[in-house]
Amino acid sequence: MAERPGTPLAADAVDDADPAPDSVPRGSVPYLDHHATTPLDERVLEAMAPYLGAEFGNAASTTHAYGWRAEAAVDLAREQLADLLGAAEPREIVFTSGATESNNLAILGLADAAAEPGHVVTVATEHPAVLDPCRELARRGWEVTELPVDYEGRLSLADLEEALRADTRLVSVMAANNEIGILAPIAEIAERCHARGIVFHTDAAQAVGKIPLDVGAQGLDLVSVSGHKLYGPKGVGLLRVRRGGSPRVKLAPRQFGGGHEGGLRSGTLPVPLVVGLARAVEIAEREREAEAARLVGLRDALWHALETELSGRVRWNGPRAAEERLPGNLSVSFEGVDGERLLADLGGLAVSSGSACSSAKPEPSHVLLALGHSPALAKATLRIGFGRGNGPDDVAYAAERILAAVRRQVGGA
């Protein structure tokens, strides 16, 4: 029998000296919607390339070298991700198709493993991938509390404490909001949950690689991550599932057929995507501090241009303090402006009015309504997400297009 390989090809792709690409491919207008998705980083594609071609083996095929090399690549990626995220051991990393599946596995998986229905606490401004599974639990006889937020999107820790009960099984609060960029005090929330023996889950799809995150040090039991939010491939993510310790984290699988991923997520692993996810997180973490500072500069420059010219007609959504907000996020609402016409007048500028998962729905953003916005003001909102490849020229172009579109509706403003 042939020997198992020691170091998979993926290891060659992890090199701290790798230069960043000169530019991120894009169309004829700036791409300013990095909360919806991000372009695949060329360095990530390079790491994936061997597993899209000659190294096509199935990681679950353990009788020959093709499978062993695929298995070794997955093992390395799992080890890298556990280390980068601060997990105690590689087995805590469960690969999924993305944060939506991870959220469903965390919430519904915990409920399915419970002996009887209980109580779940979440927040009114969560992503639909959290709110919808929680509402599904309500239909199954669980009690669900959706906590309110203040006008800047903050959750009151006092409200959280008051909501916790003897039968509370899970609290789910996102680390960084996908619309207004506010950061939640997840370590403090986890501490309060653990003091009562409650499992804590956080949707960290917008947070990983953008803010400091250490799942072990911060006490995060269940953590959802998505590759395409941080310049990795679409179709892959992970759920960190803490092993051992207290409170006990017990999940039931959501899909069956082979017992992969410790029995939690059956299905043949997409080795290229798994390798790409690990590489994307590695790059994002290595470049995080410098990139955050650069994005704050771009974000603030655009805000200054809009605020200066629109004489109080533009409103900043979410907190102003840098330590409370994603560095590349700018959410702004325009008084006296028709939101649908505003988007139509932007000439294809790649921004959005809210969550990409809800962009096809005519209803105003549930996040902005939770902040106290009127439906009209919520619809007259732009979510701008700066990222790699954006520069000062993009700020100038976006400011010009947005200002022109607003002035067409409100005159000289």
Catalytic residues: 357
Contact 64, 235 (CB under 8 A): no
At 386, give phi and psi (nearest 5°). Answer: -80, 155
The rounded distance, in Å, linking the Cα atoms of 66 and 50 is 12
Burial environment of residue 309 by CB neighbours within 10 A (0 to 12, 13 to 18, 19 or more) = middle
Contact 114, 90 (CB under 8 A): no
The two three-digit tokens of residue 215, written as one number: 């799942």
Quote the distance between the C-alpha of residue 122 and its chain's center: 17
Contacts of 100 by beta carbon, 8 Å cutoff, 6+ apart:
129, 226
The two three-digit tokens of residue 260, written as one number: 């992969």
The two three-digit tokens of residue 220, written as one number: 């995060």
Q: How many CB atoms lie within 10 A of CB 174?
A: 28
The rounded distance, in Å, linking the Cα atoms of 50 and 412 is 56
Contacts of 255 by beta carbon, 8 Å cutoff, 6+ apart:
265, 266, 267
3-state class of 373 per DSSP?
coil
177 closest CA partner among 229, 108, 220: 229
Contact 265, 255 (CB under 8 A): yes
Contacts of 265 by beta carbon, 8 Å cutoff, 6+ apart:
94, 95, 96, 101, 105, 253, 254, 255
229 closest CA partner among 344, 302, 127: 127
The rounded distance, in Å, linking the Cα atoms of 315 and 306 is 10
